[in-house]
């Protein structure tokens, strides 16, 4: 009669344990060798692809040179394993840069493409102008803003390059800049904000349109721009135009208020 208790063979269990231990040792050895091999391979790739040349390109050559001078590339940086976005982020730290992208050119060249911000307004302060783009980003100070930029004078501010302009005054400035952008012949345009109730738009030749400080600003500026063209066709350049009245009042250049009496409300000068 067989025993109800199973008895294991100790010699068989010992052999099984030894086989499992040997198998685990071989797996560990293979994993170790694979890790070492991978590490050596990555090290070799990193060495071969180490960044030796950086090219910064932009449609603004001066900005490309500035960014190139300011970039700091770690000595271990390479095209294969380094986080190259951090290098592009360095380029975007400049207020004049809107966006930076990178391209790898194996084995050792990195190309950084910089998109410059395009200023549209120049705010005057003590003889200098702070350039600002359509997102309100202040890019740089200059003493000679381009003729295509709307110049804003008489508006107090404390912004510096890298800051963002906000609020109603920036919104008005941007609105006027966009409205007069196509009137190339009359550049440079100025928005005179010295006396807000008499907010005025001034052409490069000095023709002045008093548009006031209202929500109807865009329409008034458009009326002024159109009137300038119409009066020039007549050979009577506008000197001053009051656009805050129901019907705009116009003084031609030779009949400006400082030379002759102003016309009565609802009348136009000849």
Q: How far apart are CA 79 and CA 91, in angstroms?
A: 17
The predicted pLDDT at position 268 comes to 43
Which residues lie across from 120 on neighbouring strands? none
Q: What is the pTM of this model?
A: 0.78
CATH number of 119-255: 3.40.50
Q: Compute the distance between CA of residue 61 and CA of residue 90 in angstroms, rounded to an integer.
A: 18
Residue among 49, 172, 73 nearest 121 (CA): 172
Q: Check residue 12 and give its pLDDT.
A: 65
pLDDT of residue 270: 34
* Eight-class DSSP state of 203: -
Close Cβ partners of 45 (under 8 Å, ≥ 6 residues apart): 78, 80, 81
Distance CA 138, CA 94 (A): 11
Q: What does each of the 270 residues of the chain score in pLDDT, given as a tens digit?
A: 555 545 555 556 666 776 776 667 566 545 544 444 444 444 555 678 899 999 999 999 999 999 999 999 998 999 988 889 999 999 999 999 999 999 999 999 999 999 999 999 999 999 999 999 999 999 999 999 999 999 999 999 999 999 999 999 999 999 999 999 999 999 999 999 999 889 999 999 999 999 998 889 999 999 999 999 999 999 999 999 999 999 999 999 887 876 544 443 344 433
Please state which architecture CATH assigns to domain 53-116.
Answer: Roll (3.10)
Domain boundaries, the chain: 53-116, 119-255
Which letter, b or e, does each residue of 225-246 get, where b requires 16 or more Cβ atoms within 10 Å of its Cβ? bebbeebeeeebebbbbbbbee
DSSP 8-state secondary structure symbol assigned to residue 95: T
Cα–Cα separations (whole angstroms), residue 47 to 35, 58, 238:
18, 29, 70
Q: How much is the pLDDT for 14?
A: 64
* pLDDT value at residue 267: 40
pLDDT tens digits along 82-118:
889 999 999 999 999 999 999 999 999 999 999 999 9
């Amino acid at each position: 009669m067989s025993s109800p208790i199973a008895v294991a063979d100790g010699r068989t269990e010992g052999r099984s344990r030894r086989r499992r231990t040997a198998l685990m040792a071989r797996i560990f050895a293979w994993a170790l060798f694979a890790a070492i091999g991978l590490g050596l391979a990555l090290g070799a790739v990193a060495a071969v692809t180490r960044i030796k040349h950086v090219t910064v390109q932009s449609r603004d050559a001066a900005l490309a040179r500035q960014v190139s001078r300011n970039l700091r590339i770690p000595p271990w940086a390479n095209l294969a394993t380094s986080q190259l976005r951090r290098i592009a982020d360095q380029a975007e730290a400049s207020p004049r840069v809107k966006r930076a992208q990178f391209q790898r050119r194996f084995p050792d060249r990195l190309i950084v493409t910089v998109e410059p911000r395009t200023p549209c307004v120049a705010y005057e302060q003590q003889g200098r102008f702070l350039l600002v783009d359509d997102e309100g980003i202040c890019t740089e100070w200059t003493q000679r803003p381009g003729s295509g930029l709307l110049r804003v004078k008489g508006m107090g501010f404390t912004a510096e390059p890298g800051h963002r302009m906000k609020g109603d005054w920036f919104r008005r400035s941007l609105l006027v800049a966009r409205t007069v952008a196509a009137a190339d012949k009359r550049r440079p345009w100025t928005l005179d904000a010295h006396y807000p109730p008499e907010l005025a738009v001034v052409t490069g030749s000095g023709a002045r349109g008093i548009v006031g400080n209202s929500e109807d600003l865009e329409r008034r500026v458009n009326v002024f721009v159109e009137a300038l063209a119409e009066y020039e066709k007549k050979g009577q350049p506008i000197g001053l135009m009051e656009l805050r009245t129901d019907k705009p009042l116009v003084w031609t250049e030779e009949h400006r208020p400082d030379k002759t009496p102003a016309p009565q409300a609802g009348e136009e000068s000849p």
